[in-house]
């Protein structure tokens, strides 16, 4: 007997389609969702790359317009990519991880049935994560724009020396930073590149950003936590092969005088977790805070 879910009717499946053996995994999850009474579609690139033809293939826009939940199978990188695409439609996302559990793909593959069944019935923990939107301005005109769940990173080229960046917050000059680069990170991004560069961890419920220099050439240039209202401007003062990355979406060859402008996006990402999910437990697991505990 098929059990009809409460609230969810049409699920989209997104997968890390480069992973070996992913087609069988995705089809297994799809048939499980069908057995739970949902209509199921595949994200178009996932269907094309894996050769899945038994389910309708949708673009991200079609997913946002027609689906009411998305199941993402892969790692945090897979989730980051589709989260940016779907944020404007407020579509809730559930993450199933194939390898080591991620910060935002938190359901082990071997436990997806036990985790998904209650979620589909309306028993879940929901959280919303803020996003960044940014632009690159050159000679008075915008030449690039992007959306980030993790961070916006301005950095030097692989073979170049340091960069010099002018930082202004809400129109007020803050500092000239000479470093390998600068990270503006959300609370979600505070456990990504910003953490590796020595930044603090921000709880997702905090309305703030981290501003973290990368290998600063001045010891007094330290990470700072900023309120996430207003705007951060990063001007390119000096340096070669400078680039800006919006969650790994790169714009290379920034020129002296270019300015990167970053603000909070009106869009948020909705994550659904199994009941009892804990952010602190995620940190404990991923950062091995339990080591040494008997």
Structure letter (DSSP) for residue 77: H
Classified as helix, coil or strand, 57 is strand
Residue 268 has pLDDT above 60, yes or no: yes
**Which residues, listed in sequence order, are joined to residue 245 by a DSSP beta bridge?**
153, 250
Specify the pLDDT at position 3: 42
DSSP 258: -
Does some domain include residue 191?
A: yes
Mean pLDDT of 134-157: 94
Number of domains within the chain? 2
- Annotation says 76 is catalytic: yes
Q: pLDDT-derived band of residue 219, with 50, 70 and 90 as boundaries?
A: confident
Same domain, 150 and 183: yes
Can you tell me the distance from the alpha carbon of 224 to that of 203, in angstroms, rounded to the nearest whole number? 15
Q: Is residue 42 part of a domain?
A: yes
With a cut of 60, say whether residue 223 has pLDDT above it: yes
Residue 92 sits in the same domain as residue 18? yes
CA dihedral 69, 73, 74, 79 (to 10 degrees): -10
Domain with 204, as residue range(s), is 131-265
Give Cα separations from 92 to 83, 145, 234, 245, 270 (angstroms).
9, 24, 32, 25, 5
Exactly one of 45, 54, 68, 76 is catalytic; which is it?
76
Report the pLDDT value the prediction gives residue 6, as an integer from 0 to 100: 55
Q: Based on the fold, state whether residues 151 and 239 are members of the same structural domain.
A: yes
Same domain for 186 and 118, yes or no, is no
Q: What is the pTM of this model?
A: 0.92
- In sequence order, the β-bridge partners of residue 269 are 129
* Residue 294 maps to a domain: no
Residue 156 domain-assigned? yes
With 50 as the cut, is the pLDDT of residue 48 above it? Answer: yes
Instruction: Kindly state whether residue 56 falls inside one of the protein's structural domains.
Output: yes
Indicate the burial class of 24 (C-beta count within 10 angstroms; 0-12, 13-18, 19 or more).
exposed
Question: Is there a domain that residue 114 lies in?
Answer: yes
If asked whether residues 138 and 105 sit together in one domain, one would say: no
202 and 159 share one domain = yes
**Could you tell me the CATH number of the domain that includes residue 47?**
3.40.50.10330
For the residues 48-71, what does the mean pLDDT come to? 97
> 189 and 102 share a domain?
no
Q: What is the CATH number of the domain that holds 168?
A: 2.60.200.30
Say whether both 244 and 177 belong to one domain. Answer: yes
pLDDT of 172 > 70? The answer is: yes
Segment among 41-45, 240-244, 248-252, 286-290 with least mean pLDDT: 248-252
Q: The tokens 């948020």 sit on which residue? A: 268
- Which among 253-257, 263-267, 287-291 has the top mean pLDDT? 263-267
Indicate whether 1 pLDDT > 60. no
Of 278, 238, 283, the residue nearest 256 (C-alpha): 238
Q: What is the pLDDT of residues 63-102, one digit of tens each?
A: 999 999 999 999 999 999 999 999 999 999 999 998 777 8
Element (H, E) at 119: helix 112-120
For position 291, what pLDDT does the model report? 65
**Rounded CA gap, 129 and 159, in Å?**
35
Is 26 contained in some domain?
Answer: yes
Percent of the chain with pLDDT over 90: 84
Query: Are residues 238 and 135 part of one domain?
Result: yes
One domain, residues 173 and 197: yes
Flag whether 196 is in a domain.
yes
What percent of the chain is predicted at pLDDT more than 70? 96
- Whether 162 and 111 share a structural domain: no
* Spatial distance between the Cα atoms of 255 and 248, rounded to a whole number of angstroms: 19
**CA–CA separation, 129 and 110 (whole Å):** 26
DSSP β-ladder status, 163-169 and 172-179? antiparallel
What integer best gives the mean pLDDT of the chain? 92
> Is 143 found in the same domain as 246?
yes
């Amino acid at each position: 007997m098929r059990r009809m879910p409460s609230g969810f009717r049409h699920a989209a499946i997104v997968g890390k389609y480069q992973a070996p053996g992913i087609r069988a995994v995705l089809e297994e999850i799809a048939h499980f969702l069908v057995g739970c009474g949902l209509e199921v579609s595949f994200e178009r690139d996932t269907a094309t790359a894996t050769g899945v033809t038994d389910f309708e293939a949708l673009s991200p826009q079609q997913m946002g317009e027609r689906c009411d939940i998305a199941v993402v199978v892969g790692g945090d990188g897979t989730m980051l990519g589709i989260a940016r695409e779907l944020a404007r439609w407020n579509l809730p996302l559930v993450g199933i991880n194939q390898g080591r559990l991620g910060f935002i793909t938190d359901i082990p593959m071997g436990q997806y049935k036990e985790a998904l069944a209650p979620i589909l019935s309306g028993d879940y923990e929901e959280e919303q994560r803020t996003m960044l939107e940014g632009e690159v301005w050159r000679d008075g005109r915008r030449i690039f724009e992007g959306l980030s769940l993790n961070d916006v990173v301005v950095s030097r080229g692989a073979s170049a020396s340091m960069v010099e960046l002018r930082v202004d917050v809400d129109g007020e000059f803050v500092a000239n930073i000479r470093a390998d680069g600068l990270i503006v990170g959300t609370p979600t991004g505070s456990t990504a590149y910003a953490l590796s560069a020595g930044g603090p961890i921000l709880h997702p419920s905090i309305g703030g950003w981290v501003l973290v220099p990368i290998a600063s050439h001045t010891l007094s240039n330290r990470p700072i936590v900023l309120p996430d209202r207003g705007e951060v401007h990063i001007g390119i003062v000096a340096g070669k092969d400078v680039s800006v990355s919006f969650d790994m979406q790169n714009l290379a060859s920034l020129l002296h005088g270019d300015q990167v402008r970053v603000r909070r996006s009106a869009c948020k990402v909705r994550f659904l977790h199994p009941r009892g999910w804990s952010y602190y437990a995620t940190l404990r697991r991923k950062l091995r805070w339990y080591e040494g505990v008997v």
